[in-house]
Structure 1
Amino acid sequence: MDQFTTPQIGLALRRLRKKHNLTQKDLANGICSQAEISKIESGTHSPTVDLLYALSRKLQVPITIFLNQNEHVDSIRLTDDRLLILFQNQQYDLIYREAKEKIKQLNFDQELISLYSYYLHITAYRMNKIDYRTCIVELQLLADKYATLYYSPKMLLRLKSAIATLYYEKRHYVHGLRTYEELINLNFESDDLLVEKIRILYNASKVLIELNKPAEALKYINDGIQSCLQFKDMSLLGQLYYQKAYALELINADDSEIRDSYKKAYLLFDILNMNEYKQILLRKKTNLLDWLR
């Protein structure tokens, strides 16, 4: 019987087993011996195709998650990047048709199916094929399924963020805030996900501003600013300082602190060539340029 020798199989098997809170004995039950699981995880034994398939079924993951992981991850990332560009260009119909076709064709790659399902639902909503409530329900079902099947939180963040955005757009701020708070309380292990947390903190602060809770918003804003500085990521730093200045105005903070935040926001917009934001800020604060002199 053919065998797989990739050393990453053992590491992936151990991570998935622990994610499901299974002991080696639990995982082996009805499939193989505990000793065999131990050898696979330690990298001293290569599983057969049949054994790996049985283990993937018990762990509720596609067998491809153990194979050519780097190539698989790269493939998913490239697909996601391409679909994201199409979405940003509002080519919803193109995405929708591709997603429907791919979901029919893909039999075992549940991770890629999840990605296409996400794009299918959000483009269906943007094209008025489904209403926002249906879209939220579908995204939540997908999130629940994804949380069960996979140990990576990246798609879960994407799905929950989309749900929160829909709530925000429909002015259901309490539901949106609850969703953002769920995300904030997740464990962000990698630097990539920690940067994503900055966006979540910023969006959560916007919801709190809408709920007339500027003091609570400032906590998230300051956390976001600190994370930006820690990880040297300026992509949202200007917006966070702008939001901070506005929140400070709402609580009647000291004028010097408000001016300082507006000035930092403007300078960051200028450095990053974010001219649209600069113009918005100048229209809001006509004397801003005097402050900068």
Structure 2
Amino acid sequence: MSHLSSSIGYEIKRIRREKNMTQAELSEGICSQAEISKVENGKNSPTIDWLQQVAKRLKVPLSMLFEDHLRSDMYTSYDQQLLRLLQGHQFEEACIIIDDIKNKIDYDEIKFLAMYYEIIIHEKRNFRTYLETISEFKQLLMNTSLQFKSPTLYLRIKMAIAISFIEHEKFDSAEKNFQELLQFNFDTIELKKVRIKILYNYAKQLSEQNRNQIGLEVTEQGIQESLQIEDGQLLGQLYYQRGYFKKKLNGNPSDIQRDFTMAYSLFRTFNLSVHEKILLEKNGSFVLFRV
């Protein structure tokens, strides 16, 4: 389903909830409640005629249903810019953008995004300890509108806390955070993609603890969920992870070869040269063919 369909669905859900209206009340005389649910979750593409009826029922102009699309595009653009600068250690440039967002952007979710990156940059520049960083993340999570306005960012922040605990070998705290994360209601395609990242990072924690059987099961779950929503973003890494766990557990050599070969093929397909290099250096003997 397209990004536009997802953003329209999000906006319909947001306005409906603001007006304390149920799906049944919104759908009456227009369509089934199931249809409303599918549109809100980005699973169906609505027609203009349908949107006009829904906008009339919600008592808002039709253009308002497209508001989230503009906001979402702006959010994605800033997210990509800040991530690129962070990865390139261009912290001063990132801080200029963050200040610009704080002073000029009215959308709360984009301001939350800027705060998220600012916290990370402060730790990268050694302005904060990891415990201070976690404390600031938790304060950001206390904003009551964050989970509703930007559930993906809410999950990213909680995942960042869990990963920080892993990096400092606080595995019990990391485990608690991952278990809390997996209880979230992943009711849209975008949230399901975040769930796959959570499963991937949780399995990485389990590998650090040598909990290989559970790690294998979590990785299997991540692969199945990736295939279900046809999301290849982390599929190569997940196949690599599964091969790793099977190797640790002395699994069937043919299965291990298939997983590492599949990971290699996906790394080549998506031009993930760093991942490809690591695979070949550590597990190249399991790759059945090379391009």
Length-normalised TM-score, structure 1: 0.72
CA contact (8 A) 2:109 2:149 kept: no
| One-letter amino acid of the counterpart of residue 128, structure 1 | N
- Aligned equivalents of 1:139 and 1:73: distance in 2? 22
Once the two structures are overlaid, the 10-residue window that deviates more, 111-120 or 142-151, is: 142-151
- Aligned equivalents of 2:244 and 2:230: distance in 1? 24
SS across alignment from 1:186: coil
- Aligned equivalents of 1:9 and 1:265: distance in 2? 37
Q: Which residue of 2 aligns with 1:5?
A: none
CA contact (8 A) 1:208 1:216 kept: yes
- Aligned equivalents of 2:11 and 2:279: distance in 1? 52
Q: Which residue of 1 aligns with 2:16?
A: 14
Q: Which residue of 1 aligns with 2:182?
A: 184
**The one of 241, 244, 248 aligned to 2:242:** 244
- Aligned equivalents of 2:265 and 2:147: distance in 1? 44
Q: Which residue of 1 aligns with 2:52?
A: none
Q: Which residue of 1 aligns with 2:216?
A: 218
| One-letter amino acid of the counterpart of residue 259, structure 1 | Q
| TM-superposed deviation, 1:240 | 1.0
Structure 1 unpaired stretches of 5+: 1-7, 20-39, 47-64
What is the CA RMSD across the aligned residues, in angstroms? 3.1
1:43 to 2:58 alignment: yes
Once the two structures are overlaid, the 10-residue window that deviates more, 241-250 or 199-208, is: 241-250
| TM-superposed deviation, 1:157 | 1.3
**The one of 277, 280, 293 aligned to 2:278:** 280
1:92 to 2:100 alignment: no
Identity, % of aligned pairs? Answer: 29
Q: Which residue of 1 aligns with 2:25?
A: none
- Aligned equivalents of 1:134 and 1:204: distance in 2? 23
**The one of 152, 165, 168 aligned to 1:167:** 165
Distance 1:145 1:67, change over 3 A: farther
| One-letter amino acid of the counterpart of residue 158, structure 1 | R
- Aligned equivalents of 1:113 and 1:287: distance in 2? 48
CA contact (8 A) 1:106 1:113 kept: no
CA contact (8 A) 1:12 1:66 kept: no
CA contact (8 A) 2:267 2:276 kept: yes
SS across alignment from 1:129: coil
CA contact (8 A) 1:201 1:220 kept: yes
Q: Which residue of 1 aligns with 2:75?
A: 76
Structure 2 unpaired stretches of 5+: 1-9, 22-54
Q: Which residue of 1 aligns with 2:27?
A: none
SS across alignment from 1:284: helix
CA contact (8 A) 1:188 1:194 kept: yes
How many pairs were matched up?
246
Distance 1:16 1:164, change over 3 A: farther
| TM-superposed deviation, 1:154 | 1.4
| TM-superposed deviation, 1:69 | 3.8
| TM-superposed deviation, 1:175 | 1.8
Q: Which residue of 2 aligns with 1:198?
A: 196
| TM-superposed deviation, 1:214 | 0.9
- Aligned equivalents of 1:148 and 1:116: distance in 2? 13
| TM-superposed deviation, 1:207 | 0.2
- Aligned equivalents of 1:230 and 1:67: distance in 2? 28
1:142 to 2:140 alignment: yes
| One-letter amino acid of the counterpart of residue 94, structure 1 | E
- Aligned equivalents of 2:60 and 2:236: distance in 1? 53
**The one of 258, 263, 266 aligned to 1:265:** 263
